[in-house]
A and B are shown apart, each in its own frame.
Chain A
Amino acid sequence: MNRPDLFTSVCIFAGSLPVLLIILGLLVLTGLQVADPETFIDAILDPSVIDSILLTFTAAACSTLILFAIGTPLAYLLSRQKFPLKSVVEGLIDLPLVIPHTVAGIIVYLLCMRQGLLGLPGSLVGIRFEETIAGIIIAMLFVSVPYYVNTVREGFSRVPVRLEQVARSLGATPGRAFVQISLPLTTRHILTGGLMAWGRGVSEFAAVVMIAYHPMIISTLIYQRFNTGGLYAATAVAFVMVVFSLLLFVFIRILGGRLLSEVR
């Protein structure tokens, strides 16, 4: 291997810092578990921890599926159409990126509380958002929208419009051209956007806790353990969460890679 030039060396040095930060953080967390394995084993065997992790992953997966259904058409429209107030819509989509998560939580609560714009019609058909998984899903959805929509919009903009035009000239309706041409060619971006949205949902705390302290998602449980049992009780649960997340992310990446090679 050639000796890297000055610029590459600077890039390597600068680039290694954020990676090092994550590695150091994980090492500290792991070190605490090695020093106190009993607390860690208790956390792993604690059904409320496992239930909470499963609830978090499931709720985030539901919000990602809803995003796929409603965010994909929105991303397509934004990449293909010009319409009045388009930049306002784009700004609104980006809003959850810049507002504090507590503010996102307040917005979600105001919308979903019993007398809220979504809560009131929801209660009429038997759907309650306060202290339910439905509320958790809505909060996760709210904060994940920009991650999914922006990634998938970028994917659609990379598909030449001409491919759809050719498909239309050969007899495809706009819907068929979308499903058979644009959608498969955006698979990579849909998977990446979905993974980012799911990860964002899993990591959410403030927005969720405002609408649903119970049932406890993992970040709420860690916060509760920190308040009641101290730092060590919280880190054991946090470590279990990190291990689960890492395993799942690797699994999804491998699965995504296989899916992409099949699409190709």
Chain B
Amino acid sequence: MIRIRDLLVRVGSFELPVKNLDVSDNDWVVITGRSGSGKTVFLETIAGFFKPESGSIILDGADITSLPPEKRGISIVFQDYSLFPHMTARENIGYGLKLRNNPEIHSIVSDYARMLGIDSLLDRSPAQLSGGEKQRVAIARALVVNPKLLLLDEPASALDHETRRSLWNDLCSLHDRGDLTIIHVTHDRNEAEVLGNRRIIIDGGKFVE
């Protein structure tokens, strides 16, 4: 469970206050808002890329507000996939496991690749993958490390309608398997209505449920 209390994030002249937000285990919270409303800044603050001015972020009872990103156990998937271009799909997915010296790296990578339908693409470089395939690799890479929380930053916005639908289905099945808490930001109202079990709108720096 994640609890956010009296958070204030300042990036340049932009301010984002978040009074209170509780996300329970296995929740899938979809946050919408206009461009520039602070959705991505909010996610990046939870991930640890921005340090808040004040307030606290509690994850599973531990205060992670000052922890660096690598110690939070939170994975993030960006809109632009952010795959490591000098690694194959397999190396991208296995990156987090390699850092942990996980001996079962090969089988775990294969399992997630199969789940997401990219098992035949593992030896390709990101440049040889389509947008949908890249996003599946990015999602697999985020999930193999078994994160306490998955952050999705407009994961389907760069994809065509059909690929987007297919990705949503895959995300829903992964979430339905249980033990996956998601905070997902999107500017797509349709996506916000179809996905998740909670919807929040950021409006004028305020969170409205």
Binding site for B on A (CB under 8 A): 160, 162-163, 165-174, 176, 181, 184-185, 263-264
Q: Chain A residues with Cβ under 8 A from B72's Cβ?
A: 169
List the 8 closest A-B pairs by CB distance, nearest first. Answer: A170-B96, A168-B69, A171-B99, A162-B82, A166-B82, A169-B76, A169-B69, A171-B70
Q: Chain B residues with Cβ under 8 A from A163's Cβ?
A: 82, 84
B96 x A185 contact (CB < 8 A): no
Cβ of B68 under 8 Å from chain A: yes
CA distance A167 to B125 in the complex (A): 17
CA distance A185 to B84 in the complex (A): 9
A176 x B86 contact (CB < 8 A): no
Cβ of B95 under 8 Å from chain A: yes
A170 x B84 contact (CB < 8 A): no
A171 x B100 contact (CB < 8 A): yes
Number of A-B contacts (CB under 8 A): 61
CA distance A160 to B126 in the complex (A): 15
A170 x B47 contact (CB < 8 A): no
Cβ of B38 under 8 Å from chain A: no
Q: A169-B74, A173-B68, A173-B70 are in contact. List 15 more A-B contacts (CB 8 A).
A: A166-B141, A167-B84, A168-B48, A168-B68, A168-B70, A169-B48, A169-B72, A170-B99, A170-B142, A172-B95, A176-B99, A181-B84, A184-B86, A264-B86, A264-B125
CA distance A199 to B51 in the complex (A): 44
Binding site for A on B (CB under 8 A): 44, 47-49, 68-70, 72, 74-76, 78, 80, 82, 84-86, 95-96, 99-100, 125, 141-142, 145
Which residue on B lies nearest to A165, using beta carbons? B49
Q: Tell whether A166 pairs with B145 under 8 Å between CB atoms, given A181-B84, A184-B86.
A: no
Q: Tell whether A166 pairs with B78 under 8 Å between CB atoms, given A172-B99, A173-B70.
A: yes
B76 x A166 contact (CB < 8 A): yes
B69 x A165 contact (CB < 8 A): yes
B141 x A170 contact (CB < 8 A): yes
Indicate the member of A162, A165, A171, A263 with the most B CB atoms within 10 Å. A171
CA distance A173 to B142 in the complex (A): 16
24 contacts between A and B (CB under 8 A): A162-B80, A162-B82, A163-B84, A165-B49, A165-B69, A165-B76, A166-B76, A166-B82, A167-B84, A168-B48, A168-B68, A168-B70, A169-B48, A169-B74, A169-B76, A169-B142, A170-B70, A170-B95, A170-B141, A171-B96, A173-B68, A174-B68, A184-B86, A185-B86
CA distance A174 to B48 in the complex (A): 13
Q: Chain A residues with Cβ under 8 A from B96's Cβ?
A: 170-171
Q: Chain B residues with Cβ under 8 A from A174's Cβ?
A: 68
CA distance A176 to B99 in the complex (A): 9
Which residue on B lies nearest to A161, using beta carbons? B49
For residue B63, give the distance in angstroms from its CB to the closest CB of chain A: 18
Q: Chain B residues with Cβ under 8 A from A173's Cβ?
A: 68, 70
A169 x B75 contact (CB < 8 A): yes
CA distance A184 to B69 in the complex (A): 22
CA distance A52 to B95 in the complex (A): 48
Q: Chain A residues with Cβ under 8 A from B145's Cβ?
A: 170-171
For residue B164, give the distance in angstroms from its CB to the closest CB of chain A: 21
Which residue on B lies nearest to A171, using beta carbons? B99
Which residue on A lies nearest to B77, using beta carbons? A166
For residue B47, give the distance in angstroms from its CB to the closest CB of chain A: 6
Q: Which of B47, B84, B86 contacts A169 (CB 8 A)?
A: B47
